[in-house]
Amino acid sequence: MTRGTFWCATALIDGVPVDAVRVHASPDGTIARLERGVPASAGDTVLGTVFPGMGDAHSHAFHRALRGRTQADGGDFWRWRESMYAAASALDPDLYYELASAVFGEMLISGWTAVGEFHYVHHRPDGRPYPDPHAMELAVAAAARDTGIRLTLLDTCYLRGGTNRPLSDLQLRFGDDSADAWLRRWDSLRDSLDAGSHTVAGPGPAVTLGAALHSVRAVPRAAMATILAGLPATVPLHIHLSEQPQENAECLAEHGLTPTGLLHELGALTPRLSVVHATHLTDADVKLLGDAGVTAVFCPTTEADLGDGIGPARRLADAGARLALGSDQNAVVDPFLEARGLEAGERLASGRRGRFSPPDLTEALTRGGYASLGLGTGGLQVGAWLDLVELDAASVRTVGASANQLPLVATASDVRRVIVGGRIVASDGLTPAGDPALLLGAALRRLDETIADITPKEPA
């Protein structure tokens, strides 16, 4: 349901609590006007404590299938990755639509109003395109539209299994043979979405098409140069960067440069670039990234779960980088826990509290995420998208807390209503499609059945 005006008992504007705020909607779903210190009036949708919409700047929706199934296995990132490939091998467009719809629903009821889906499951498991070469991309886009979340589809180039290593059998469906082939497919997808020749159903906001280079280990130098030259300069571009020491070692051996140094030589370090994880950086890397004004996307719950390490978030921010947050593998879907994880990591690494203030954390969740996804300025201001998250400020977790410190105490359980583009898309844990837990249960059962069907059986 679309409303013309929303009255907020308290709204966080630029990280500062402001009482009695009325937000006026434009027909296009942006904020037309803000009034402060005004009483509610007839016709207003009355809200309590309100955050601006929060942007999940890095997600792999299908990784949600691994939650609670790999955490006890031990090992490291590389061992976890094998389980992830098994889940990827079971996906087809219909199943991916079902799973992504459920995950996007979980995101909405948790307070994420926008998501950047770092998408690389492009083709059939043997690498051949589907009859509709955009079938997987359109499934993800339709899931977002039907659910009501704002989506930036980060179509990802993934060409090799590592330095001088071809794609493995389990990676074939990620690849496009060459940078030129990937660019042709990306251009075709953009043209199809722009022209409306493919129908992406649903009442949700339009899908933004972005791009991603999977990593310097998965995309050769010459291919990265081709893609950087071929992509429009306004398209948001993302890349996994220095998540693992092994990635750095392989890049140094192949190029004599760190991954950051290689991107710098290629001219990739610009404000449109978002570097995901940015965990294992040299001092020179930090300076290059800060000088370029890139966005550093941290995913603290995933980085902790996979044992990646603690990235230099404070140093990057001080150097000039913008910060954003993401849910990555979706082992946790909770923007407030990502924000607290960012601060907790800094405290553990430095031995000091308050490395990021509550307004800093709110900025990363809201403006930082939206900027990373090419969705404008974000926040509560005229011209930004009218995306709001109402919190229960009197729950057992939040009661007594100052409104500006809610990022340090609230959880997704405190989210009441969620508005995207001036429409209520979630309320008290439910979306118009129903309970995301039930949707997830059904999707995961179907995924398990598919994995069982394709898993080779031991001879009797």
Report, as residue numbers or ranges, the catalytic residues.
Answer: 277, 328
Spatial separation of the C-alpha atoms in residues 54 and 388, rounded to whole Å: 8
Helix, strand, or coil (residue 235): coil
Q: Directed axis angle between helix 436-454 and helix 77-89, to 10°?
A: 90
Spatial separation of the C-alpha atoms in residues 77 and 148, rounded to whole Å: 32
Structure tokens at 120: 């690389």
E strands along 208-270, which residues? Answer: 208-213, 237-241
Helix, strand, or coil (residue 68): coil
User: Closest by alpha carbon to 202, among 148, 153, 136, 151?
Assistant: 148
Torsion of CA 265, 162, 81, 180, to 10 degrees: 70
3-class SS shares of the chain: helix, strand, coil, % to 5: 40, 20, 40
User: Closest by alpha carbon to 55, among 97, 146, 145, 117?
Assistant: 117
Spatial separation of the C-alpha atoms in residues 113 and 414, rounded to whole Å: 15
